[in-house]
Structure 1
Amino acid sequence: MSDSNTTTFTNPSIFILMGNPGLETSYIWISIPFCTMYIIAVLGNFTIMFIVKTEQSLHEPMYYFLCMLEIIDLILSTSTLPKTLSIFWFNSREIDFNACLTQMFFIHCFSSMESGILVAMALDRYVAICDPLKHSTILTNRMVAKIGLAVGLHSSILALPYPFLTRHWSYCKTNIIPHSYCAHIAVVKLACTDTQLSSYYSLFVLFSVNGVDVIFIIVSYTQILRAIFRLPTKEDRLKTFGTCGSHLCPISALYIPDFFSALTHRYGHNVPLHFLILFANVYLLMPPMLHPIIYGMRTKQIRDRLLQLFTRKES
């Protein structure tokens, strides 16, 4: 262990994840809300997918996209939290070099997929509200499958350069990562070669890919709001806006922390490291926990089906 920490090497066999430096005495207390959020996320997401699968009236593009979002949430949270909890509970800090790169790929790939599916859901709401007569002919089951496949391929291609570039850097002096998972920027900081290409690529993805997704969503909802305000009665406007409100919360929960986390890691030199790491963990756990709650509470069909399940159990 000491040799790997003091010599220059390329492709170390293992990295050492430090967890959250500075908060070691609070690991047990920190793990309680993390574990609770993960349990809620798993139970909530599986419940939503079960309801959509068993309820025939929910076999529509909006709910197919929602199931894709739930699957992405489960994979994204599961790719990081078990290792984080093993550090907090068992002091299991070692992670294989290839496993670290795989974790890095999963984080970036499925974060990008989440963004892509939110764009697809915005497209679905746009067609349903602005051109409802063509909704069933445009967003067929075949088209929904093609969109899901396109989002998956697009995200995989975008995420591949992260582990590819990281694998080819030379690492010097230490293999200790001051983080609870293999965050790209935390690993890159260990390299002793010029990593500007990796940094520029991260910023490119953040602004030109995620930024384009945000712009597309804003344009879609601008058109949706214009269509809503043209509806004849207040009841119709409120009902139509209600179908979109459940979508706006996950959008905010994804993009605002995403941009905040990426920019503070690069330019927030005065922000305490333990806060950045804590925020990075919460950022990956919050959307998977919130999505089933938001859609379960604000989507009438899902809410009614949930009530039916609970009332049957009680009777």
Structure 2
Amino acid sequence: MTNSTQFSYFKLGAYFDIRLLKYVFFLILTSLYVLILCANLLLIVVICLNRSLHEPMYLFLCSLFVNELYGSTGLFPFLLLQILSDIHTVSVPFCFLQIFCVYSYVAVEFVNLAIMSYDRYLAICYPLQYNTRMTFKKVVMLIGVSWLYPFLVVAGTTSLSSSLQLCGNIIDKVFCDNYSVVKLACSDTTVNNIYGLIATYFVVFGPVILIIYTYTRILKVCFSGSKQTRQKAVSTCTPHLASLLNFCFGASFEVLQSRFNMSSVPIILRIFLSLYFLTCQPLFNPLLYGLKMSKIRNICKNLFSSEV
């Protein structure tokens, strides 16, 4: 058996020769990354500097935008370097660092979206008790949990994978992926698989179950409530649901591609689908909330009009 420490690098096998087109892809991805940085930073600054936005819903949004910056920064600089490089290798420590960044980004996203759905549930189902139930102290605690809890869970996943004995070092992706590393193992991966299932339940299925429960309750209130209640629910919940569906849509492609043979699908399409939730979600969220949330939209309008 070959110990993982005998490998100093992983080779990323999904890259192929695109010749001069690599400069076109480099410019497209650089533009996308700059747009993501500007859009998310703008909304973070707007929320932080405007006291009228220091409400639980907007503070949770701010946490979400910070996570978009974190996730995209864990991918884009690395991806841009790999596109320009002729040798698609990555050192073992950096590979596991990227695995930690990507997986913790996904986990924080799901937990954040679950907390936001819980916040909307309290605001719509218990409007008179909302301020006493969702205090500033509780908001800070929930934001802290939404980051610390996923980080600890993913740290366990990364630690288990880094201790595996590997028989190869070729990852058939354009970025480092934990499941691809586990598939290279010569040693027993039972513990990894069990821990992976438990971790997936707590950072993916658990939050999704909470979201389904809260929206079931919200729908009940909407159907039995006034027209004003329904309008409030639609205006505040639509962006959240759209964000959740977009993220689940992208993440499902990555799961399917990792678990099943998709060699019949063109490689360029496979690469796009595997990157979708890491590239489109960080841009989708600030644009969606910036356009849909009237308070944020109006403040941004005033900001740009005053500059002009």
Aligned CA RMSD, in angstroms, stands at: 2.2
Q: Retained in 2: the 8 A contact 1:15–1:176? A: yes
Matched, 1:67 2:49: no
In 1, Cα distance between the equivalents of 2:15 and 2:97?
23
Moved more, 34-43 or 46-55: 34-43
Which residue of structure 2 lines up, in the alignment, with residue 138 of structure 1?
133
Give per-residue Cα distances to partners, 1:36-81, cap 9 Å, x unaligned. Answer: 3222211110010111112111000011111111111111111111
1:170 counterpart SS class: coil
Matched, 1:281 2:278: no
Which residue of structure 2 lines up, in the alignment, with residue 304 of structure 1?
298
Moved more, 59-68 or 99-108: 99-108
Which residue of structure 2 lines up, in the alignment, with residue 218 of structure 1?
212
Which residue of structure 1 lines up, in the alignment, with residue 247 of structure 2?
254
The Cα of 1:196 is off from its aligned counterpart by: 4.2
In 2, Cα distance between the equivalents of 1:240 and 1:104?
37
Q: Map 1:168-179 onto structure 2 (within 5 A).
A: 168-172=163-167, 174-179=168-173
Moved more, 305-314 or 150-159: 150-159
2:129 counterpart SS class: helix
Moved more, 184-193 or 286-295: 184-193
2:128 counterpart SS class: helix
In 2, Cα distance between the equivalents of 1:196 and 1:36?
42
Runs of 4+ in 1 over 6 A off after TM superposition: none
Question: Structure 1 residues 223 and 39, CA, compared in 2 at 3 Å: closer, same or farther?
Answer: same
Question: Structure 1 residues 129 and 195, CA, compared in 2 at 3 Å: closer, same or farther?
Answer: same
In 1, Cα distance between the equivalents of 2:69 and 2:272?
20
Give the letter for the 1:85 counterpart.
Answer: L
Which residue of structure 2 lines up, in the alignment, with residue 243 of structure 1?
236
In 2, Cα distance between the equivalents of 1:98 and 1:8?
17
Which residue of structure 1 lines up, in the alignment, with residue 148 of structure 2?
153
2:119 is aligned, of 124, 128, 139, to 124
Moved more, 9-18 or 159-168: 9-18
Give the letter for the 1:129 counterpart.
Answer: I
Q: Map 1:1-315 onto structure 2 (within 5 A).
A: 8-11=2-5, 12-18=7-13, 20-22=14-16, 24-25=18-19, 26-91=21-86, 93-172=88-167, 174-207=168-201, 209-233=203-227, 236-272=229-265, 274=267, 275-314=269-308
2:10 counterpart SS class: strand
Give per-residue Cα distances to partners, 1:117-165, cap 9 Å, x unaligned. Answer: 1111001100111101111111111111111122222212210232212
Alignment: residue pair count: 305
Q: Retained in 2: the 8 A contact 1:206–1:259? A: no
**Gap regions ≥5 residues in structure 1:** 1-6
In 2, Cα distance between the equivalents of 1:273 and 1:65?
39
Give the letter for the 1:248 counterpart.
Answer: L
**Gap regions ≥5 residues in structure 2:** none
Give the letter for the 1:277 counterpart.
Answer: I
Which residue of structure 2 lines up, in the alignment, with residue 4 of structure 1?
none
Moved more, 160-169 or 288-297: 160-169
RCO comparison, higher one (Cα < 8 Å, 6+): 1
Q: Retained in 1: the 8 A contact 2:110–2:203? A: no
Give per-residue Cα distances to partners, 1:162-182, cap 9 Å, x unaligned. Answer: 22122221222x423232221
Q: Retained in 2: the 8 A contact 1:246–1:298? A: yes
In 2, Cα distance between the equivalents of 1:108 and 1:145?
23
1:95 counterpart SS class: strand
Give the letter for the 1:146 counterpart.
Answer: M
Give the letter for the 1:242 counterpart.
Answer: S
In 2, Cα distance between the equivalents of 1:240 and 1:46?
27
Give per-residue Cα distances to partners, 1:259-312, cap 9 Å, x unaligned. Answer: 332133112444548343332222211111111000000000000011101111
The Cα of 1:23 is off from its aligned counterpart by: 5.7
Q: Retained in 1: the 8 A contact 2:150–2:203? A: no
Q: Retained in 2: the 8 A contact 1:265–1:276? A: no
Question: Structure 1 residues 208 and 75, CA, compared in 2 at 3 Å: closer, same or farther?
Answer: closer
